[in-house]
Chains A and B, each alone.
Chain A
Amino acid sequence: MKEINHYELRFSAIGGQGIITAGAMLAEAVVQYKGLYAIHSPRYTAQVRGGPTKVDVVIDKNPINFPKTTNVDYYLSTSEKSFRTYFQDIKPGAIIVLDSNLVEEFNDPKYRVYRIPLIETAAKEIGNVVTVSTLSLAVTAKLTGLLTLEELEDFIPKRVPKGYEEINLKAVRLGYSLV
């Protein structure tokens, strides 16, 4: 794994898609496996489901003073509206991951853009749409180098609801091989 001093991530979606959970799991996992400090702050709209939501994750090798993002290194989105709404403070050169079915073409040479059918893959290939949280986490872990496959294979079964361990492990392995 590369040496991390400070790293900022954002996940945006439509409330209910499960992307906030991906951010939460990422923060918990880097604290647990890497001994790093992390915060995550979800933002919801008044709508519980159906409104634009996001979660910001800040990772640092030291305790975090300012608990907000100012320079986002990695941005994943599964909704066109949310992607545009929260497109702020994205660092030039940032990694951008977009759900290829749900976010329109975005070709800005300032960023490294990946287009992956995240929700479709979760629903069809893995077999349950709720695994999009784990799938997105695995894609993020691979692209950023923040967590290894082995770490995710250890973390995910303990983190997900009972009875959903196997299908989420499938999502981890698929996500790690997709990119």
Chain B
Amino acid sequence: MKRVVMPGNETVAHAAVAAGCRFYAGYPITPSSELAAEMSKLLPKVGGKFIQMEDEIASMAAAIGASVAGYKAMTATSGPGFSLKQEHIGLACMMEVPVVIVNVMRGGPSTGLPTHPAQGDVMQARWGTHGDHPIIALAPAFPTEIYMETIRAFNLAERFRNPVILLLDEILAHTYEVVDIPEPEEIELVERKLPPSGLNRLDFYTYQRKEGDPPLLPNFFQGYNFHFESLAHDEMGFPTTDPEKVAYISRLREAKIEKHREEIWKNDEYMLEDAEIVIFAYGSVARSAKEAINRLRSEGIKVGLFRPITLWPFPHQPLRKAVGERKVLVAEMNLGQMVYEVERALRRDVFTLFKADGTPISPVEFMDKIKGELI
């Protein structure tokens, strides 16, 4: 293990390279630019490729192209750029191409608050691209966790052949913190599964698999005929409007995530056991919540934290089980987004603490809210 002081943006870059990322395409945007800068230094040293594209749309397309060619690929952006990437995120979902997209959340909408934090893109991470599609989104909160979750983002992308979105915010991206970097041999990496060699190439169908399995897409030049298609397609990858075939492939796409959601879910529970009040928070807001919990407990007020690290698929069942009948306070740096999922999971109203003015929710604000309204 090596202890270093780095900002979140650089931590993601170092972790991506450790995870085997060898292609980065991006267009700089505050507060994510340092991530691109760091990738441009790191990738050439390991034989990887860095390219600054003409815009975010092209960056997303380039990352997908590199992934199809067999490379672990990443792009990074922030709010407005994340909006631009949505079309091609849908393409990657449809073609089932692994790729990691980092979105450093800043105040929105539009160009909003470029240098200030927000959590206003969490629903966009789920539903930003049109149509029904499977997605995985991770929201780490602590420096070493940012490193480990970046690696997990690549592992999940490769394992499930799907885009994975890594959500940071301006605070996590820009604050220099202590990161404990594990030795390479301590890191578990997932490599994409390729179809076995030697199959009759006419018998190999690009998207054929058991329901619940990710597809085994060959890399370019592996010797198989295959077809990538953004239109609704059949198991061979060719366009179809046959309702039965369309429904079948759509079900296969959803099932590969749905069936394995327990493997994808990851939550942190802090002082939850004897808590009378449960805070639901993620990303940097959860850190403020932890500080508030420590201070409230020293005053004898029993508060705990449920912190999803995997935001999508949303952990409905784990949340329901962890919270039970206790009072819940949902805190977000937006005007109320994940709260809809929390209420859906719990099937009841909850208390809320929302803030979208470009400043973090402080521990004191948590304490005032809880003392004023929850006890």
| Chain A residues within 8 Å of B, Cβ to Cβ | 24, 27-28, 31, 37-44, 63-68, 70
Contacts and interface: CB of A to CB of B under 8 A. Distances in A.
Binding site secondary structure of chain A: mixed
B363 interface: yes
Interface stretch (B173-181, B224-232, B319-327): B173-181
Nearest to A42: B174
Given A27-B5, A70-B362, A70-B364, A64 B177 contact: yes
A31 B288 contact: no
Interface in B1-44: 3, 5
Contact of A31 (B3, B115, B171, B175): B3
Interface string B146-176: 0000000000000000000000000100111
A52 to B, nearest CB: 14
Contacts of A31: 3, 5, 178
B292 to A, nearest CB: 8
A37 B291 contact: no
Q: Which of B142, B176, B178 has the most CB of A within 10 A?
A: B176
A31 B171 CA distance: 20
Contacts of A38: 5, 178
Contacts of A63: 142, 178
Nearest to A45: B115
A37 B171 contact: no
A149 B375 CA distance: 51
A31 B288 CA distance: 22
B288 A40 contact: no
B233 interface: no
B129 interface: no
Nearest to B177: A39
A27 B291 contact: no
Contacts of A64: 177
Contact of A66 (B3, B176, B178, B288): B288
Given A66-B363, A67-B287, A41 B175 contact: yes
B294 interface: yes
B362 A68 contact: yes
A158 to B, nearest CB: 14
A66 B362 CA distance: 8
A94 B288 CA distance: 24
Which 6 residue pairs spanning A and B have beta carbons closest together? Answer: A65-B291, A66-B291, A41-B175, A65-B290, A65-B287, A39-B177
A138 to B, nearest CB: 19
30 contacts: A24-B5, A31-B3, A31-B178, A37-B178, A38-B5, A39-B178, A40-B5, A40-B175, A41-B174, A41-B175, A41-B176, A42-B176, A63-B142, A63-B178, A64-B177, A65-B288, A65-B290, A65-B363, A66-B288, A66-B290, A66-B291, A67-B171, A67-B175, A67-B177, A67-B284, A67-B287, A68-B171, A68-B360, A70-B362, A70-B363
A65 B364 CA distance: 13
A50 to B, nearest CB: 17
Contacts of A43: 115
Contacts of B290: 65-66
A39 B294 contact: no
A165 to B, nearest CB: 21
B294 A65 contact: yes
Nearest to B170: A41
Contact of B176 (A27, A65, A68, A70): A27
A156 to B, nearest CB: 16
A34 to B, nearest CB: 12
Contacts of B174: 41-42
A43 B294 CA distance: 28
A22 B5 CA distance: 14
A70 B284 CA distance: 16
B305 to A, nearest CB: 11
Contacts of A65: 287-288, 290-291, 294, 363
B303 to A, nearest CB: 14
Interface in B279-317: 284, 287-288, 290-291, 294
A55 to B, nearest CB: 9
A64 B288 CA distance: 10
A31 B176 CA distance: 12
Given A24-B176, A41-B174, 20 more contacts: A24-B5, A27-B5, A27-B176, A28-B5, A37-B178, A38-B5, A39-B176, A39-B178, A40-B5, A40-B176, A44-B115, A64-B177, A66-B288, A66-B362, A66-B363, A67-B177, A67-B287, A68-B360, A70-B363, A70-B364
